Amino acid sequence: MFNRRKNLQWVQRIKESFLSVLPIALVVLIIYFAGIDSAFSYSHDVDKFGYLNELAAFLICAFLVAIGLGLFSIGVDQSLGRIGSVISDSLTKKKKKWFLIIVTFLLGFLITVAEPDLRLLSSEVGIDDWIIVLSVSLGVGLFLVLGTLRILFQLDLRVVFLGVYAVVFMLVALAPEEFYSIAFDAGGVTTGPVTIPFILAFGTSVASSRQDSKNGSDDFGLIAHATMGPILAILFLAIFIPVANPSFTMSYVTPEINLELSVEGFSKQFISSLGNVGLAIGPLALFFLVYNFLFLKMNLKELMNIFIGLFFCYFGLVFFLSAVQTGFSPVAQSIGKALSSSEQGYSLALFIGALFGCFAVLAEPAVAVLVHQIQLVSEGTIKKSGFLTVTALAIALGVALAVIRAKYRFSIMYYLVPGYIISFGLSFLVPNIYSSIAYDAGTVASGPMAASFTMPFIIGFATGQYDSSSASFSSDIYKNAFGVVAMISMMPLIVVQLVGLYAVLKRKAIIAKARKRIIEPNDDQIIHFEAEGNI
């Protein structure tokens, strides 16, 4: 019975992964047969190969992306989520703050090193990948500690965020403009399929250790803490490690886009991903083994279940990254560049970009994890369909705004400063749980699909807008092509809290209407209450 139930769960996870990737694949199919992108179209493919070679290669990559996400989602609950929960329980029971701080920092650091979205971003920046990865991981470790201490000491989430973002915007004034967008993008991509399940389980366990936890709001917000560390880390890096004449290192971020979607190309990416994912997940697995040996003492069966889950996560991420880097990202950038050539293309880029943003958030595996957590904490008062609809529309708007910025070349601060002012203002008008959910929703939405498809789409659109022979080409790309992940992270902060504000105002209106019915003007009625014994 148990095995049958487990098999059904596995089939359901794989099915969900395919359904999440399907909308993006369908949009790409329409673009392919419509001939919008001359480098990726029916006529070009037939003329060059005599058959639909490029389309077949893309569809195979889409299939492997779905398989990878499915395998990862199968393993995540019994591995990363379980590790976060049991270690958090152990730490809170020990009642030793110094031990909690050290272990939480190490976990935050190790889990971020394992995050595939961060690898996708770091590979596109003209700095050594490991400098970006290690700097961001340090930032996440420190802010995961801050978030955990905030829960334990019952500090107001809004006050903490106001203080941290005040420091962030002060540092922005000192950092080179080329790194504004990258810093905020780093905050978004850091919280992806590896970190989300772990941090959610960790935060929920820490919050449940306090009996006076604030109506479920402490269960959320820890993910948002993890996004602030990378922003500060990249800004510090840009200020104290000057990068002269920044230039891109990835082939598909240059003006020439390589669309040779071949078996050989996938094989190289697969072999590379085997090592990279192993280096990412291996240290976390080793840390857990040591911690279990010293403190947890789990039995062999429980330990084997966790490592079987890690095995699924490992190969899921390998398939996902290999397929993304072989097929998804190059095709996305090629389509973006093709749409940059005319005014009609600009209108299409707005529409198609919004579609990609909407579908990408529905495809994010971590969104499903967050929605499940929201339903549990809110006891069903926040509906899955409504939450997903609002978030998807917010992300679609965010991507469309990113296309506008890539077209007209203005600083991302014109979006971020008023956006965060509005979101912070709303946080003082709605219940804390809405603010906590909003901050987490923004970070969760900017996951692997955003990093692997939406971001390359905007970069492609920008490369077609600017003169590649210009000395300022790389600088323009840094300033204006990046930042879409930051927009995807910010929009739910505003929209989810607006939904919360609507709920608050609606509730007040209902109460006021009910009171009006009970107490009418000039009501001189006298109501007599008699003791029960006199009735």
Question: 388 near 375, Cβ under 8 Å?
Answer: no
Residue 522 within any structural domain of the chain: no
CA torsion sign for 339, 343, 348, 354 is positive
Question: 137 near 112, Cβ under 8 Å?
Answer: yes
Question: 82 near 200, Cβ under 8 Å?
Answer: no
Q: String of b and e for 456-495 (b: at least 16 CB within 10 Å)?
A: bbbbbbbbbbbeeeeeebbbbbbbbbbbbbbbbbbbbbbb
The 3-class SS string of 300-311 reads: HHHHHHHHHHHH
CA separation for the pair 224, 210 (Å, rounded)? 20
Q: Could you tell me the pTM of the whole model?
A: 0.81
Would you state the pLDDT for residue 530? 56
Could you tell me which of 231, 78, 216 has the C-alpha nearest to residue 140? Answer: 231
Q: String of b and e for 424-453 (b: at least 16 CB within 10 Å)?
A: bebbeebbbbbbbbbbbbbbbbbbbbbbbb
**What is the extent of the structural domain holding 296?**
2-513
Residue 326 within any structural domain of the chain: yes
Could you tell me which of 77, 232, 75, 73 has the C-alpha nearest to residue 141? Answer: 232
CA separation for the pair 49, 30 (Å, rounded)? 20
**Count of CB atoms within 10 A of residue 163's CB?**
10
Least confident of 247-256, 302-311, 386-395: 247-256
Residue 6 within any structural domain of the chain: yes
Question: 306 near 288, Cβ under 8 Å?
Answer: yes
Residue 86 within any structural domain of the chain: yes
Which amino acid is it at 523?
D
**CB neighbours of 433 closer than 8 A, spacing ≥ 6?**
215, 216, 217, 220, 377, 378
Degrees to nearest 5, angle at CA 77 with 65 and 310? 70
What is the band of 261 on the pLDDT scale with cuts at 50, 70, 90?
A: low
- Tens of pLDDT, residue by residue over 488-517, are 888 888 888 887 788 788 878 888 888 777
Give the number of domains in the chain. 1
Residue 527 within any structural domain of the chain: no
Residue 34 within any structural domain of the chain: yes
Q: Which two tokens stand for residue 155?
A: 């500090």
Residue 213 Cα distances to 81, 92, 168, angstroms: 21, 14, 28
- Tens of pLDDT, residue by residue over 441-497, are 777 777 667 777 888 899 889 888 877 667 677 778 888 888 888 998 888 888 888
Residue 231 within any structural domain of the chain: yes
User: What is the DSSP code string of 388-428?
Assistant: HHHHHHHHHHHHHHHHHHHHHT--THHHHHHHHHHHHHHHT
Q: Is the pLDDT of residue 132 over 50?
A: yes
Least confident of 19-28, 242-251, 502-511: 242-251
- Tens of pLDDT, residue by residue over 328-360, are 888 888 888 888 876 678 888 999 999 888 887
Residue 534 within any structural domain of the chain: no
Provide the CB-side half-sphere exposure for 179 (13 A, CA): 30
